[in-house]
């Protein structure tokens, strides 16, 4: 794997991390004193978005780690 390929994997990892963090903050922001059903549904929907972002983060993390393993230890 070339250094340019590793750079792309690292950038994808960083982007996925930023998106995951943003989704966590968006979910947290919806935990408000508004105890209505509508507010609860918005908060719950944000949680599903956070789960999706976490899955993308995990995928990007593993791809980057696999690339590093290939370059550094040959597996």
Q: How many CA atoms, within 13 angstroms, populate the side-chain half-sphere of residue 21? A: 6
Confidence (pTM): 0.88
CB atoms within 10 A of CB 20: 21
pLDDT score recorded for residue 17: 98
Which residues have C-beta within 8 Å of that of residue 41, sequence separation ≥ 6?
none
What does the pLDDT read at residue 75? 72
* Nearest one of 10, 17, 11, 7 to 55, comparing CA atoms: 17
pLDDT digits (tens, 9 = 90+) for 14-73: 999 999 999 999 999 999 999 999 999 999 999 999 999 999 999 999 999 999 999 999
């Amino acid at each position: 794997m070339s250094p340019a390929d590793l750079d792309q994997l690292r950038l994808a990892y960083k982007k996925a991390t930023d998106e995951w963090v943003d989704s966590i903050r968006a979910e947290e922001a919806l935990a408000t004193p508004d105890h209505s059903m509508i507010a609860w549904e918005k908060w719950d929907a944000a949680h599903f978005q956070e789960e999706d972002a976490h899955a993308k983060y995990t995928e990007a993390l593993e791809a980057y780690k696999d690339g590093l393993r290939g370059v550094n230890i040959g597996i």
